[in-house]
């Protein structure tokens, strides 16, 4: 990935643990490496195909002057997220360094600082419902994900009617899948999905039983995660056996690769149909 970089931008802002730092302010030095494909801008000589580093500098200054944090860790974390959100979808990742030249530590030092790297992540989520107004509930869940400041819904499949899975007698399901760009970690995304499910009246009483809304994280980048608390397994442990998952996922992401089997969704979908 190409890089645009800004080195030691001087900003006067009010951040610090001590009250005097937050009232009087002090100088900060901010450096940023923006990971973005600049090939189109390079061939067309069109600034709109790239990211204006002057605009980024002004954005950094405005953010740091407007907000106040005790820790430069918080400054870096919040600023990185704000830059990624504002300059999406061109910007995929940012490496940010925030330094304090006048750190009040009582010893001779040039600067102290923190450096963070934050990125947009690609996730795929299965959608399901067989209680209430299923179409409206799924549409509402998609909207809530897209409205979250750290998420962007990129694609949504058509919804299909499928028979229930798992042997529990119940009504047919409405199922689909979506592609999501997110700044959330896998666990943070799980909690967001659970929150949206609960708002839709989801109750976890019967395993594989009826539900107003079901949001399952299928894939998250190339991550392989298995934790018990909270319960999370990525890739989803049973996705390769579920036609109601693979069919809508194949519609929006046929070339997404399962990190365990190293096969595309299209290949997995074809194999399941053949079985």
Q: Which of 86, 101, 119 is the last residue of a domain?
A: 119
pLDDT, tens digit, 9 for 90 and up, residues 207-248: 556 788 999 999 999 999 999 888 899 999 999 999 999 999
Closest CA to 125 of 168, 154, 161: 154
Q: Can you tell me the mean pLDDT for 152-168?
A: 87
Percent of the residues in the chain that have a pLDDT greater than 70, as a whole number:
95
In a shared domain, residues 61 and 164? no
In a shared domain, residues 142 and 236? yes
Give 164 or 137, the one with higher predicted confidence: 137
In a shared domain, residues 151 and 265? yes
The answer to whether the beta carbons of residues 10 and 99 sit under 8 Å apart is: no
In a shared domain, residues 244 and 127? yes
In a shared domain, residues 257 and 160? yes
Residue 246 belongs to what domain range? Answer: 121-274
In a shared domain, residues 16 and 51? yes
167-176, 247-256, 257-266: range with lowest mean pLDDT: 167-176
User: In the numeric block, which tokens belong to residue 20?
Assistant: 């005097």
What's the pLDDT band for 128 if we cut at 50, 70, 90?
Answer: very high
The CATH number of residue 38's host domain is 3.30.1130.10
What total of structural domains would you count in the chain? 2
In a shared domain, residues 153 and 103? no
pLDDT at 258: 97
pLDDT at 205: 60
pLDDT at 2: 96
Cα dihedral 237→241→245→250 (10° resolution): 110
In a shared domain, residues 132 and 207? yes
Long-range Cβ contacts of 197-203 (<8 Å, 24+ apart): 197/141, 199/144, 200/129, 200/132, 200/137, 200/140, 200/141, 201/132
- Model confidence, pTM: 0.87
The CATH number of residue 227's host domain is 3.30.70.560
pLDDT at 206: 55
In a shared domain, residues 155 and 83? no
Q: Which of 101, 119, 137 is the last residue of a domain?
A: 119
User: SS3 of 16, please?
Assistant: coil
In a shared domain, residues 115 and 128? no
In a shared domain, residues 164 and 209? yes
In a shared domain, residues 143 and 246? yes
Catalogue the active-site residues.
100
Longest dimension (CA), the chain: 73
Q: Which of 90, 119, 148 is the last residue of a domain?
A: 119
């Amino acid at each position: 990935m190409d890089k645009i970089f800004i080195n030691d931008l001087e900003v006067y802002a009010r951040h610090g643990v001590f009250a005097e730092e937050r009232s009087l302010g002090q100088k900060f030095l901010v450096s940023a490496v923006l990971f973005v494909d600049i090939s189109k801008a390079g061939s067309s000589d069109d600034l709109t195909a790239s990211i204006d580093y002057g605009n980024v500098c002004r954005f950094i200054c405005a953010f740091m002057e407007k907000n106040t944090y005790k820790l430069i860790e918080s400054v870096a974390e919040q600023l990185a997220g704000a830059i990624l959100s504002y300059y999406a979808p061109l910007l995929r990742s940012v490496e940010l360094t925030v330094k304090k030249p006048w750190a009040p530590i009582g010893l001779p030092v040039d600067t102290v600082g923190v450096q963070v790297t934050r990125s947009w992540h690609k996730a795929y989520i299965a959608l399901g419902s067989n209680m209430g107004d299923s179409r409206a509930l799924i549409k509402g869940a998609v909207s809530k994900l897209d409205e979250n400041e750290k998420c962007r819904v990129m694609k949504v499949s058509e919804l299909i009617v499928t028979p229930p899975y798992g042997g529990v007698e119940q009504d047919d399901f409405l199922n689909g899948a979506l592609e999501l760009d997110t700044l959330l970690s896998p666990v943070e995304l799980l909690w967001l999905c659970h929150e949206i499910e609960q708002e839709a009246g989801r109750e976890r009483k019967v395993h594989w039983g009826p539900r107003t809304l079901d949001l399952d994280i299928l894939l998250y980048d190339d991550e392989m995660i298995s934790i018990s608390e909270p319960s999370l397994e990525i890739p989803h442990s049973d996705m390769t056996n579920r036609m109601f998952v693979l069919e809508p996922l194949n519609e929006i992401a046929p070339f997404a690769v399962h990190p365990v089997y190293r096969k595309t969704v299209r290949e997995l979908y074809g194999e399941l149909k053949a079985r």
